[in-house]
Chains A and B, each alone.
Chain A
Amino acid sequence: MTKETQRISVPLNRAEGDLEVHVDVRDGIISDAWSSGTMFRGFEDMMTGRGALDGLVFTPRICGVCSLTHLTAAVEALDAVTGVKAPDNAQRQRNLALMAETIQSDVRQSVLMFMVDFANREAYGSHPLSREAYERYAPLAGTSSLQVIQQTKHLLQIVSIIGGQWPHTSFMVPGGVTSTLEVSEILQCRMVLEHFRKWYEEKFLGCTLERWQAVTSAADLEEWLEESRAHRESEVGFFLRFARQAGLDEIGGGHNRFLSYGSLPLPSTSAVSGTNGQLLGAGFANGTTVAPFDPNKIGEDTSHSWYTQDDASAHPSRAGTRPYASGPGGEKYSWVKAPRYDETAVETGPLAEMIVDNDPLFHDLLREQGPNVVLRQLARLTRPARLLPAMLTWLHELDANHGGDFYHRVDTIPDGEGAGLLQAARGALGHWIRIVDEKIDHYQVITPSTWNGSPRDEKKERGAWEEALIGTPVRDPAHPVEAGHVVRSFDPCLVCAVHSLRKGKKVGRVTLNGGL
């Protein structure tokens, strides 16, 4: 038996931005991992000295995938500076647009970016469900793939109606939103959402949202899977059957620590309930033990990142973005910083939301299995089932409260500091701003992929997906499919973690290897 260690690169096309993952494989098992953002992130420095409101225009343009999420974080940071709370109807409109973007991302990522690998005949030709996987997920041809593109396209209508335009809506402003919705527009949103819900229930769940919400334990999940052919043939059912047979519930463990900033503030009067004023609760979880979230415990460590700062770790309200592509050889290896919560590495994303929010199904599964690829992806596949009912309720409430306030006047942005912390599709997103003389004195952004794709910190603790890769078996080092699954279960998106672009991108010259 060989004892040699082989270092290989994990091919990760389909991760926007510049991401390289290298792993050491010893006796067919990954023994170490390094995740590297390969382009300089200088986005925050563009903001310094600009007008107080400029974050509303600049930050949504960081990313074409989650522009609304950045807009929301930017406006919530300014709300915090002004101390003005958006009126109920404004909050409903903001939430609805953000939720539409999140659901679109969940459905697309699941089918077009994760389950598409099930159609890889080289990797899964001998899998018992290989043929069906190919029919469903083959790129540009799979029945599920094409349906997902069509159906998620319709969700954009909600954003465009609420935002008044698409792309590049700027309808969120400090104090509320720029306009209210006509009754006909609310009805149009409801029609689009009801149509999407019906499709999601039939295609993704094979049952109603209510039936899925009754699945609250690992035993319930098995019972649900066996209950009907519709459940087994749904995307969730097929995912479970395929992924388990492929052993994906046995890889991708990680730190077993989770962070959610919480998200979607509740209107003061609403039939939708949540935790501490938000639909999605905030917290830090060590396994299934959930503790309250303290934003002061966030620090950015640059020990292994190509940046320099006065202290090894600094809170984002003070941390700067000073590139330093030098230092002790080999210690620094990424343009992504290492955010830490209470000085520990954490993962964020849909699974973290489920755990922090005390979802009984995911608590039970986590206790039984520990974190793994299947759990992360199952959380993403089923998150729309949590969001859709609240969206429909808020649309109904917008209709019932038509004519209500949508804006509280904000004439100037005072000196001060604020933060916009919420859950983007990929996890915890934060914008920190300091205003001096109506200008931006300091701006800092920590994206979900910065949390999940961070390099090591001062204590040499690995980032979330670096750690999740440890122990993963690699059958063929030339095609490390298993490692790709692990990283992709975090839905990496480095365009806003590392703000740049590679040559030829817009003509489709994806330079990283395909074949996963």
Chain B
Amino acid sequence: MNSRIICIGNRLIDRDMAGLAVFDRLQAMDMPPGVEVIEGGLAGLDLLPLLEGVERVVFVDTVHGFTDSDQVVLLDREQIIGCLEGVHYGHEAGLPYLLTVLPKVCEGRMPQDIRLVGLEDRCTPEGIVRAAALSLSLATRDTGES
């Protein structure tokens, strides 16, 4: 397995379901060899095993405050970690905590490239199409190009 696209969010909450709408779109498509699409939901720290033994991870999720509403933004690992405001683990520990702790607890091979495709604020059909295309494009790049 070379790449995982991990879509996260909560289907039951309108403002947090964009990542999973992207998951549904990707699920309906034929994935290229070496690309796996995961419904990450609210798994938080339990996503750790999915970050081991893979070259590239693309998260897809709702974000707030990065760009204009309905737009899609691309963040790298350092930018995601930069959003960590507290160092404590909690039931709602999100991506910044997960990626901060990853190098300290990873028992397999670390991903060479971790990105977040963020859907700002809302979940429009156009945004979902753009985010799905961008996620797939990132997942199928050669690792060396990152």
Residues of A bordering B, CB below 8 Å: 13-17, 43, 46, 58, 61-65, 67, 108, 112-113, 116, 139-141, 145-146, 149-150, 153, 156-157, 166-168, 493, 495, 499-501, 503-510, 514
How far is A166 from B48 in the complex, measured between Cα atoms in Å? 11
Known: A43-B12, A139-B87, A507-B96. A61 touches B41 (CB 8 A): yes
Q: In the complex, which range does the number of interface residues on chain B fall in?
A: 35 or more
Contact status A139-B80, CB under 8 Å: no
With a cutoff of 8 Å between Cβ atoms, the chain A residues found around residue B42 in the complex are: 61, 63-65, 67, 495
Contact status A507-B13, CB under 8 Å: no
Whole-angstrom distance between the Cβ of A42 and the nearest chain B Cβ: 10
Known: A58-B12, A149-B101, A153-B48. A505 touches B94 (CB 8 A): yes
Contact status B12-A506, CB under 8 Å: no
Specify which of B13, B86, B94, B96 lies most central, judged by the most chain A CB atoms within 10 Å of its CB.
B86
With a cutoff of 8 Å between Cβ atoms, the chain B residues found around residue A495 in the complex are: 42, 91-92
With a cutoff of 8 Å between Cβ atoms, the chain B residues found around residue A150 in the complex are: 105, 107
Contact status B12-A167, CB under 8 Å: no
With a cutoff of 8 Å between Cβ atoms, the chain B residues found around residue A509 in the complex are: 64, 83, 85
Known: A64-B41, A166-B46, A514-B86. A506 touches B16 (CB 8 A): yes
Contact status B86-A503, CB under 8 Å: no
Contact status A507-B39, CB under 8 Å: no
A-B contacts, 19 listed (Cβ < 8 Å): A14-B92, A58-B12, A61-B10, A108-B45, A108-B89, A116-B88, A139-B89, A140-B100, A153-B46, A167-B43, A493-B91, A499-B12, A505-B16, A505-B92, A506-B8, A506-B16, A506-B94, A507-B83, A508-B95
Residues of B bordering A, CB below 8 Å: 8-13, 15-16, 38-49, 61-65, 80, 83-92, 94-97, 100-101, 104-105, 107
With a cutoff of 8 Å between Cβ atoms, the chain B residues found around residue A503 in the complex are: 64
Contact status B64-A507, CB under 8 Å: yes
Contact status B16-A501, CB under 8 Å: yes
How far is A46 from B61 in the complex, measured between Cα atoms in Å? 23
Closest 5 CB pairs of A and B: A64-B42, A16-B91, A14-B90, A508-B96, A139-B87
With a cutoff of 8 Å between Cβ atoms, the chain B residues found around residue A17 in the complex are: 91-92
Contact status B95-A506, CB under 8 Å: yes
With a cutoff of 8 Å between Cβ atoms, the chain A residues found around residue B12 in the complex are: 43, 46, 58, 61-62, 499
Contact status B88-A139, CB under 8 Å: yes
With a cutoff of 8 Å between Cβ atoms, the chain A residues found around residue B86 in the complex are: 13, 508, 510, 514
Contact status A167-B46, CB under 8 Å: yes
How far is A243 from B105 in the complex, measured between Cα atoms in Å? 28
Whole-angstrom distance between the Cβ of B21 and the nearest chain A Cβ: 14
Closest to A139 in B: B87
Given contact pairs A17-B92, A156-B49, a sample of 11 additional A-B residue pairs in the complex whose CB atoms are under 8 Å apart: A14-B92, A16-B92, A61-B41, A62-B12, A65-B91, A112-B88, A139-B88, A167-B40, A495-B91, A506-B94, A507-B80
With a cutoff of 8 Å between Cβ atoms, the chain B residues found around residue A62 in the complex are: 12
Whole-angstrom distance between the Cβ of A495 and the nearest chain B Cβ: 6
How far is A46 from B51 in the complex, measured between Cα atoms in Å? 33
How far is A509 from B10 in the complex, measured between Cα atoms in Å? 17
Closest to A160 in B: B49
Contact status B90-A501, CB under 8 Å: no
Contact status B104-A146, CB under 8 Å: yes
Closest to B92 in A: A16
With a cutoff of 8 Å between Cβ atoms, the chain A residues found around residue B44 in the complex are: 64-65
Specify which of A16, A167, A168, A514 lies most central, judged by the most chain B CB atoms within 10 Å of its CB.
A167
How far is A505 from B39 in the complex, measured between Cα atoms in Å? 18
How far is A227 from B90 in the complex, measured between Cα atoms in Å? 34
Contact status A140-B63, CB under 8 Å: no
Contact status A61-B43, CB under 8 Å: no
How far is A43 from B97 in the complex, measured between Cα atoms in Å? 27
Whole-angstrom distance between the Cβ of B88 and the nearest chain A Cβ: 5
How far is A231 from B50 in the complex, measured between Cα atoms in Å? 35
With a cutoff of 8 Å between Cβ atoms, the chain B residues found around residue A504 in the complex are: 64-65
Whole-angstrom distance between the Cβ of A49 and the nearest chain B Cβ: 16
With a cutoff of 8 Å between Cβ atoms, the chain B residues found around residue A166 in the complex are: 43, 46, 49
